[in-house]
Amino acid sequence: AQSVTQLDSQVPVFEEAPVELRCNYSSSVSVYLFWYVQYPNQGLQLLLKYLSGSTLVESINGFEAEFNKSQTSFHLRKPSVHISDTAEYFCAVSGRGQGAQKLVFGQGTRLTINP
Amino acid sequence: DAGITQSPRHKVTETGTPVTLRCHQTENHRYMYWYRQDPGHGLRLIHYSYGVKDTDKGEVSDGYSVSRSKTEDFLLTLESATSSQTSVYFCAISGTSQETQYFGPGTRLLVL
C-alpha cells in the first residue's frame, strides 16, 4: 500500500517569488509519482509525472519536480510564480506493476499568489 | 480535453434514497475510476474498472457499487445515501495503467 503526505495545507507567496510545495510518500513497492492541479470549480489536470528515467521532470508552464528515492520525496518547485498559478495542487502515487493505476492522493496544498 | 462527461453535475437528495451517478467517455479507454474529494482528504479511490464487466474496489468502497456494461459508461450507485456521502465525485479514465488519468468535471452531491 502507498500513502502520501503533503506537508503544507496552504502556501501564500508573492507574485514572481519562488515556491516549493512539498510531497513525501511511502510505499513497499516501486512507484510512479504525479502532481495534479485543480483550478477553482474544475476537475484535476495533470501537471507532471515521473514514471522512469530522469529524476527531474518538468511541465510546460515552468513547474518542475525531482524524484528523490532516498528521501521518498517528490517536491514541486517553480522559480517565479504568476497570479494564474493560484490553485490547489495534489501529489499522488501509484504502485508499479499493479495493473490499474490506483492513485493515492495527498491532502492537497492550496497555493495563493499575492500581487 | 479528454472526452469525459459526468451527470448530473449537481444533486441534492435525502438520506436513505438511492442515487446513481454516470460517467461517460468518448475515448474508448480501458480503465475508468471513481474518486471522491473531501476537504483535508484529497481524492480517494472508490471503485475502478479495467474492462467491460470488470470492476474492483478501491480505498473507500463501503456503501457504493459500480457497473460497467459497455466501454463508454461507468455508473456509481449509492444504494441508500447517507450524509457522510456528501462529497464531490470525480470520474477519471486512462488508456493503459501507465498513461495519464484524465478527470471529468465532477458531480457535487449533497445528502440531507
Count Cβ–Cβ pairs < 8 Å, chain A vs chain B: 60
In this complex, do A107 and B41 lie within 8 Å of one another by their Cβ atoms? Answer: yes
Question: Radius of gyration of chain A from Cα atoms?
Answer: 14
Residue A24 · residue A37 · CB < 8 Å: no
Cell of A45: 489536470
Report residue B59 CA to chain centroid gap. 13
> Which of A44, A48, A51 is the best residue to mutate to test the B interface, defined by the most B CB atoms within 10 Å of its own CB?
A44
User: Of A24, A17, A23, which is closest to residue A89 (Cα–Cα)?
Assistant: A23
**Which residues does chain A have within 8 Å of residue B100's beta carbon, measured at their own beta carbons?**
46, 49
Tell whether the torsion through CA atoms of B79, B90, B35 and B95 is positive or negative: positive
pLDDT digits over A16-28, tens only?
Answer: 999 999 999 999 8
Which domains occur in chain A, in start order? 2-114 (2.60.40.10)
- In this structure, are strands B107-111 and A10-14 parallel, antiparallel, or unpaired? unpaired
Q: How many domains does chain B have?
A: 1
Q: Which residues of B touch A (CB under 8 A)?
A: 31, 33, 35, 40-45, 48, 50, 56, 58-59, 90, 92, 94, 97-106
Q: What's the DSSP call for residue B85?
A: G
d(CA A25, CA A54): 19
Per-residue pLDDT of chain B (112 residues; tens, 9 = 90+): 569 999 999 999 999 999 999 999 999 999 999 999 998 889 999 999 999 999 999 999 999 999 999 999 999 999 999 999 999 999 999 887 777 889 999 999 999 9
Closest by Cα among A35, A101, A87 to B45: A101
Domain that holds residue B28: 4-111
CATH no. for residue B60?
A: 2.60.40.10
